Amino acid sequence: MQHDLFTMVLEFFKRGYLPKGINTSYIALIPKVTGISSFNDYRPISLLNGLYKIIAKILATRLKAVMQSVVSPSQSAFIAGRNILDSVLIANEMLNSVKSRSCQGFLKLDFRKAFDTVSWSYLNDVMGYMNFGARWRKWIMACVSSTGLSVLINGSPTSEFTSSCGLRQGDPLSPFLFCLAAEGISVLISRSLKMGALYGVESAGTTYIHHLQFADDTLIFLPNDLQCLLNTKRMLRWFSYAQGLMLTSIRVVWWVWGWMRYMLKGFLVFSGVDVILSQSNTWGFL
C-alpha cells in the first residue's frame, strides 16, 4: 500500500492530473446559528478523500512557505509570521484616530459566499501575475476544478455534481488560495494610491493607512473627499466583476451628521448591495 500511495502522488506531480474519484468530497451542512430557517443559515464543510488530502497538504505546505513574500502586508490571516491580532490592534488605533478628526471614516465590506464564488480563471491569472510557474498553476487548477460533490442529507449522499467556481471549505489549500485571490483588491488600491485616485488616513503623524484585510473581511479607511469615495465605489465594482465575489453589504461608518451621511450612501449604492450608515463609537457591529 505504501508503494501504491507513493506512486499515485508521484504520478500526479508528473502529469498534473487527478483520476476520477480521487477528488470527490461530501458536503456536510453545519448550522451557523440556532433556529435554522433557510440554507443560508448553514456553513458547507467539505469532507475530502484521504488520497486527495495528502496531495493538497503537500501543496499547501509549499504554498505556505512563500505566502509572506507574495501577499501584501495588509493581509494578516493564514500568513506564517503574521499575527491577525496585530491588524486588530492597528484597526483599533485607526478607529481612535479617525474619531478624533471630523469627516473621516471607514467602510467594512461583506462579500456574498466569499469562498464559494471565487473565479478559477481569475485565480489562475493572479498566480501567473505573481510569477508562479505553469506547472504549479496546472497542479492547483487540477485540485480546484476536478471536484465531484455530494451533499450529505440525514447521513446519506445525494447524486454527485460538479461546480464551476469556488473553493471548498475544509480543503487545506483553500485559505491560502483565497488570500491570493483577495490580493487583487490590495493591488487595485495600491495602484489607485499611486495615481492619486485614493488617499489614506493619517495615523501616528507620518503613517498613512488605507486598508486592512482579514481573509474575507476588508476595512477601507477614507478621508473627507467625495471624489475619493466615488473612486472607491468604481474600484470595488471592478474587483467584484473580475474575481466573481459579490458584495452583500457595505457598512459605512462616518463621523458626520445630517445630509452629508445620506450623500455618502448615494455615492456608494451598488445593485443588490445593502449600504448601512452607522455612527457607532465601538467595534460592536463588527
Indicate whether 176 pLDDT > 90: yes
Q: What is the mean pLDDT of residues 34-38?
A: 81
Q: What is the band of 177 on the pLDDT scale with cuts at 50, 70, 90?
A: very high
* Contact call for residues 25 and 31 (beta carbons, < 8 A): no
Indicate whether 56 pLDDT > 80: yes
Task: Indicate the range of 98-102, 160-164, 197-201 predicted with least confidence.
Answer: 98-102
Counting every residue written for the chain, the total comes to 286
Residue 235's pLDDT is 81
* Contact call for residues 126 and 112 (beta carbons, < 8 A): no
**Rounded-to-integer distance, Cα 261 and Cα 254, Å:** 7
State the pairing for strand pair 24-31/42-48: antiparallel
Q: What are phi and psi of 247, to 5 degrees?
A: -70, 135
Strand partners, 214: 217
Q: Indicate the SS3 state at residue 151.
A: strand
Indicate whether 286 pLDDT > 60: no
**Rounded-to-integer distance, Cα 180 and Cα 64, Å:** 11
Q: Using alpha carbons, list the distances in angstroms from residue 69 to 65, 130, 200, 223.
A: 9, 10, 23, 30
What is the b/e burial string over 165-204, where b = at least 16 CB atoms within 10 angstroms of the residue's CB? bbbbbbbbbbbbbbbbbbbbbbebbeebeeeebbbbbbbe
Rounded to the nearest 5 degrees, what angle is found at the Cα of 48, between the Cα atoms of 38 and 43? 20
Residue 131's pLDDT is 92
Q: Indicate the SS3 state at residue 39.
A: helix
Q: Which helix (H) or strand (E) holds 24?
A: strand 24-31
Q: What is the mean pLDDT of residues 267-278?
A: 52
What is the b/e burial string over 84-109, where b = at least 16 CB atoms within 10 angstroms of the residue's CB? eeebeebbeebbebbeeeeebbbbbb
Q: What are phi and psi of 232, to 5 degrees?
A: -65, -40
How many other CB atoms sit within 10 Å of the CB of residue 123?
Answer: 24
Q: What is the band of 285 on the pLDDT scale with cuts at 50, 70, 90?
A: very low
Q: Looking at this protein, which amino acid is placed at residue 55?
A: I
Task: Indicate the range of 33-47, 51-65, 174-188, 197-211 predicted with least confidence.
Answer: 197-211
* Contact call for residues 75 and 213 (beta carbons, < 8 A): yes
Residue 236's pLDDT is 78
**Rounded-to-integer distance, Cα 86 and Cα 96, Å:** 16
Q: What is the mean pLDDT of the chain?
A: 78
Q: Would the pTM count as exceeding 0.85? A: no
